[in-house]
């Protein structure tokens, strides 16, 4: 949306009805939330945005913090592979935003962001417009199907990615259960970087675990555009060999070129594969909000920000965090919920400091990510990341982090604790 369109939409938004907070309070006004005092608008209530909003209020309760999120409930990607595999249900990964509103005083605006004007400090939503002093965006990701011939809108619905937990998670679960014994589940993995490096490989385990018990003769065929497994490779390979021999067929360095929707076929440079389920994970880029107001140049995939403050390198007073950020600019970190949440806390602290006329705080971030390899055993990877004033990037600390020495049931329990911990830290 350009500046003129933004102003037109804002005019249409006058008189719109706003809804925020758990009790559905309705307000009629042009500016849907008249601004009193200093306001920080947080857009996108996933792991990054929800953590940011909560921690802004914890650090400075006087701030007027508005969290704009288009979904009514928070649905967690972590643990969603277990829903596909039948070990958990959607209700186990679905949460309310109520505590953020009731306990911390965050105003939740359930609306879609349509435009951002970083010059006049305004944001246009499906329920009207509002102004801000600073904005923090955690837009998540968007999907790039343009390099896969035949992947039109219809094919996108038929062949889900399941990397934004929700309807597609349910669809994949249902399609898996409806497979006939002997049929094949095809999973494609794009070249890194993508959301959650170990995520697709955990999905392989969850699908294989289900097929082993329920669909004799069935297989999961993995077409991976990368040279090898991107994360926890040795641990995944050991589990695949020990538990799922004959059930997982792994093809590294295999890029998907086209789909034939009618015959449910995937075309690669070397072969064609037919499946009952086609789980196509495309290449990814920053979420749509990151491209509003010129915050991400059209030809770039990810959003450039300062590694110190997460402030946009293009517009002042807008900070961007989470999966959408450009690893080439800030330094390479996994696109994970843990990192998005850690960036959210760092950005909250920095915004509170900058609003008080102080310097940004130096970010010091961590990542922990568990994966399940069957219903009981887990594995993990951890990392610690520190801002380097010389390179002006965030870099992994070599002495810290690494992967678990082996898989174990103890790590399976820890994986559950980890999930409960991050959900509570983000929303509780
Ligand atoms: C299968 C799977 C397993 C995973 N497992 C793990 C794990 O074990 N550990 C881990 O750390 N990470 C895991 N991840 C990764 C993690 O989910 C993401 O890295 C994390 O969600 C990124 O947070 P974010 O805030 O950047 O984006 P998101 O969490 O996607 O948040 C973006 C939010 O913005 C909202 N939004 C988008 N556009 C608009 C708009 N125009 N208006 C209003 N709202 C909008 C979206 O609805 C969404 O809620 C996993 C991911 C997948 C797919």
Q: Closest ligand 1 atom, CA of 368?
A: 11
Q: How many CB atoms lie within 10 A of CB 209?
A: 22
All domains in the chain, ordered by first residue: 3-140+287-360 (3.50.50.60), 145-283 (3.50.50.60)
Longest dimension (CA), the chain: 65
Q: Whose CA is nearest to atom 34 of ligand 1?
A: 44
138 Cβ closer than 6 Å to some ligand 1 atom? yes
What pLDDT sits at residue 30? Answer: 55
- Output the residue whose Cα is nearest ligand 1's atom 8: 78
Q: Which of 6, 18, 42, 78 to mutate to test the pocket of ligand 1 (most atoms within 8 A of CB)?
A: 78
For ligand 1, is residue 199 a contact (CB within 6 Å)? yes
Give me the pLDDT at residue 44, please: 98
Return the H-helix or E-strand segment holding 71: none
Confidence of residue 274 (pLDDT cuts 50, 70, 90): very high
Query: What mean pLDDT comes out for the span 124-153?
Result: 96
333 lines ligand 1 (CB under 6 A): no
Q: How far apart are CA 260 and CA 19, in angstroms?
A: 43
Taking Cα atoms as reference points, which of 14, 36, 18, 38 lies closest to residue 27?
Answer: 18
Between helix 47-59 and helix 409-427 the angle, nearest 10°, is 60
Cα distance between residue 81 and residue 198, in whole Å: 11
CA of residue 339 relative to chain centroid, distance: 10
Residues 7-23 have pLDDT tens digits of: 444 333 333 333 433 33
Pocket test for ligand 1, best of 287, 366, 417 (most atoms within 8 A of CB): 287
Q: Residue 179 is inside which H or E element, if any?
A: none
How far apart, in whole angstroms, are the C-alpha atoms of residue 151 and residue 162?
16
CA of 322 to the centre of ligand 1 (A): 8
Q: For residues 170 and 200, what is the distance between their CA atoms, to the nearest angstrom?
A: 16
Q: Which two tokens stand for residue 158?
A: 């038929």
| pTM exceeds 0.75, yes or no | yes
Strand partners, 367: 383
- DSSP string for residues in 193-255: S-SSTTHHHHHHHHHHHHHHHH-TT-EEEEEESSSS-SSSHHHHHHHHHHH-TTTEEEESS--
Distance CA 103, CA 413 (A): 29
Q: Is 379 helix (H, G, I), strand (E, B) or coil?
A: strand
Tens digit of each residue's pLDDT (9 = 90 or more) over 242-251? 999 999 999 9
Look at 29-38, 261-270, 314-323 and tell me which has the smallest mean pLDDT. 29-38
Q: What is the pLDDT of residue 398?
A: 76
At residue 15, φ and ψ (nearest 5 deg) are 85, 0
Between 172 and 400, name the one with better pLDDT.
Answer: 172
Q: What is the mean pLDDT of residues 160-168?
A: 98
List Cβ<8 Å contacts ≥24 apart for 3-9.
Answer: 3/117, 3/119, 5/115, 6/115, 6/117, 6/122, 6/124, 9/114, 9/115, 9/124, 9/129
Three-state secondary structure of 136-164: EECCCEEEECCCCECCCHHHHHHCCCCCC
Whether 48 lines ligand 1, by a CB cut-off of 6 Å, is yes
Paired strand residues for 149: 258
Residue 46 Cβ inside 6 Å of ligand 1? The answer reads: yes
Within 10 angstroms of residue 389's Cβ, the number of other Cβ atoms is 9
Asked if 33 and 18 count as a contact pair (C-beta separation under 8 A), the reply is yes
User: Does the beta carbon of 200 sit less than 6 angstroms from any atom of ligand 1?
Assistant: no
Closest CA to 288 of 129, 137, 117, 77: 137
Q: pLDDT confidence of 400, banded at 50, 70, 90?
A: confident
Do residues 130 and 10 make contact, with C-beta atoms less than 8 angstroms apart? no
In this predicted structure, what is the pLDDT of residue 21? 37
Has residue 24 got a pLDDT over 50? no
Compute the distance between CA of residue 41 and CA of residue 4 in angstroms, rounded to an integer.
Answer: 22
Report which ligand 1 atom has the smallest distance to the Cα of 114: 41
Cβ(143) – ligand 1 distance below 6 Å: no
| DSSP code of residue 396 | E
Rounded distance from Cα 138 to ligand 1 centre (Å): 9
- Tell me the pLDDT of the chain averaged across its residues: 92
């Amino acid at each position: 949306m350009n500046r003129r369109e933004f102003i037109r939409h804002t005019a249409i938004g006058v008189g719109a009805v706003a809804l925020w907070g758990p009790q559905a309070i309705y307000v009629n006004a042009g500016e849907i939330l008249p601004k009193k005092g200093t306001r920080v608008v947080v857009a996108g209530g996933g792991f990054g945005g929800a953590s940011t909003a909560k921690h802004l209020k914890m650090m400075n309760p006087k701030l007027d913090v508005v969290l704009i999120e288009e979904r009514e409930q928070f649905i967690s990607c972590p643990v969603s592979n277990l829903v596909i595999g039948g070990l958990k249900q959607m209700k186990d990964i679905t949460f309310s935003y109520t505590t953020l509103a009731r306990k911390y005083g965050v105003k939740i605006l359930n609306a879609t962001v349509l435009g951002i004007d970083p010059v006049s400090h305004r944001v246009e939503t499906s329920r009207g417009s509002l102004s801000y002093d600073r904005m923090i965006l955690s837009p998540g990701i968007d999907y790039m199907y343009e390099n896969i011939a035949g992947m039109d809108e219809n094919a996108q619905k038929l062949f889900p990615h399941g990397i934004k937990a929700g309807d597609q998670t349910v669809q994949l679960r249902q399609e898996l259960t409806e497979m006939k014994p002997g049929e094949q589940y095809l999973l494609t993995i794009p070249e890194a970087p993508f959301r959650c490096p170990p995520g697709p490989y955990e999905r392989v385990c969850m699908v294989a675990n289900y097929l082993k018990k329920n669909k004799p003769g069935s297989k999961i065929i993995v077409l991976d555009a990368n040279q090898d497994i991107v994360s926890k490779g040795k641990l995944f390979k050991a589990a695949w060999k020990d538990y799922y021999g004959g059930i997982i067929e792994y093809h590294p360095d295999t890029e998907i070129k086209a789909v034939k929707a009618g015959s449910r076929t995937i075309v690669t440079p070397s072969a064609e594969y037919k499946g009952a389920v086609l789980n196509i994970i495309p290449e990814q880029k920053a979420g749509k909000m990151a491209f509003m107001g010129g915050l991400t140049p059209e030809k770039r995939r990810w959003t450039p920000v300062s590694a110190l403050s997460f402030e946009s390198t293009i517009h002042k007073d807008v900070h961007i965090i989470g999966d959408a950020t450009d690893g080439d600019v800030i330094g390479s970190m996994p696109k994970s919920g843990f990192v998005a949440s850690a960036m959210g806390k760092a950005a909250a602290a920095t915004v509170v400091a900058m609003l008080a006329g102080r310097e940004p705080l130096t970010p010091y971030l961590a990542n922990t990510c568990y994966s399940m390899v069957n219903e009981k055993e887990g594995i993990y990877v951890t990392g610690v990341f520190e801002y380097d004033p010389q390179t002006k990037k965030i870099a992994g600390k070599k002495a810290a982090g690494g992967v678990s020495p082996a898989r174990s049931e103890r790590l399976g329990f820890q994986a559950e604790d980890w999930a409960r911990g991050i959900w509570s830290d983000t929303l509780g």
